[in-house]
Amino acid sequence: MLDPAELDKVYLCDALTKLQSLPDACIDLIYIDPPFGSGKAQSMTRIRTGEGEQLRKGFGDRTYQFSVISHQSFDDRLPRTDYLQFLSEVLLEAHRTLKTTGSIYVHLDHHSVHYVKVRLDEIFGEERFLNEIIWAYDYGGRHRDRWPQKHDSLLWYAKSKTWTFNRDEIDRLPYMAPGLVPKEKALRGKLPTDVWWMTIVPTNSKERTGYPTQKPLALLRRIILASSRPGELVVDVFCGSGTTLVAAAQCGRHYIGADISQDAVALAQLRLTALNADKS
């Protein structure tokens, strides 16, 4: 049995170790956004312009002063075979710790989605594959010699033949041609398909923490509302800045988070404390 004292906490801990510490069949929903196997160190430096010791060249070759407010990073340079070996061990533990009615979303991109899909088919069974969700966004640099790569892939698997999908809880979208459907339907909007157009966290938004590859709360809220019920347990063992945990708390779910980065855990805790302060 899962000790209730373990709930609603963020652990400074390796993903595999955290899952290994949990009993069988105790989790309702797992979302993981592991390093993508990009072969790069991921980092992000936040700066404040208009003051500071340092100079930078900007638009029109003008120089401006800036100071560094924060620098966050994590390593994504494991060789592919090691990366897949590590992730497979995590996925095996995820399978063991999910309830029979539970499901898992694995957030990836073009670097590794095809390799990881094969592993997930082996561990969960091909017949347990539910969706590949394409999260499409439009931000950042563009290749000049190929189509700009502007989507991530989220693989969704169930543990058994029974899983949660709360259609009525999902945010609805405007019809592209509302004039072609009855007024009542147009007013209700339509359910999203497996292609989700959603902005990344805007640079100037309050949500922005400065953590590299921070995911939008709207993305996690959609997943959590659709695939878990109030009071259930949502787990993210690569929680980074804590987006999943904040979204889970906002949606009235319990959560357990883990990350090996001290900066990440501190940031996630800060966000959760701020959320609780807003509530009280």
Least Cβ distance, residue 217 to ligand SAM (angstroms)? 9
Work out whether 33 is an interface residue with ligand SAM (CB under 6 A). yes
Work out whether 260 is an interface residue with ligand SAM (CB under 6 A). yes
Residue in this structure with the two tokens 């061990």, named with its chain if needed: 89
Work out whether 152 is an interface residue with ligand SAM (CB under 6 A). no
Q: How far is CA 239 from CA 28, 65, 86, 98, 108, in A?
A: 17, 34, 17, 17, 14
Comparing CB distances to ligand SAM, the nearer of 128 and 201 is 201
Cα 230–Cα 242–Cα 67 angle in degrees, nearest 5: 150
Token pair, residue 189, equals 């909007």
- The window from 21-29, 62-70, 179-187, 255-263 that contacts ligand SAM (CB under 6 A) reads 255-263
- The window from 2-10, 136-144, 247-255, 259-267 that contacts ligand SAM (CB under 6 A) reads 259-267
Cβ-proximal residue to ligand SAM, closest one = 240
End-to-end Cα distance, the chain: 31
- The window from 31-39, 47-55, 62-70, 153-161 that contacts ligand SAM (CB under 6 A) reads 31-39
Give the orientation angle of helix 80-97 with respect to helix 113-124, to 10 degrees. Answer: 40
Alpha carbon distance 221, 250 (integer Å): 8
Task: Give residue 237's Cα distance to chain centre.
Answer: 11
Phi/psi zone of residue 229: left (φ > 0), alpha (ψ -120 to 50 degrees), beta? beta
Alpha carbon distance 71, 64 (integer Å): 20
Work out whether 207 is an interface residue with ligand SAM (CB under 6 A). no
Comparing CB distances to ligand SAM, the nearer of 151 and 190 is 151
Residues 6+ apart with CB under 8 A from 118: none
Work out whether 241 is an interface residue with ligand SAM (CB under 6 A). yes
- The window from 112-120, 160-168, 188-196, 254-262 that contacts ligand SAM (CB under 6 A) reads 254-262
- The window from 120-128, 142-150, 184-192, 210-218 that contacts ligand SAM (CB under 6 A) reads 210-218
What DSSP character marks residue 221? Answer: H
What DSSP character marks residue 246? Answer: H
Give the orientation angle of helix 243-250 with respect to helix 262-279, to 10 degrees. Answer: 20
Among 11, 66, 74, 156, binds ligand SAM (CB under 6 A): 74
Work out whether 259 is an interface residue with ligand SAM (CB under 6 A). yes
Least Cβ distance, residue 239 to ligand SAM (angstroms)? 6
Report the interface residues with ligand SAM, using CB under 6 A: 14-15, 33-35, 74, 211, 213-215, 237-238, 240-241, 243, 258-261, 264
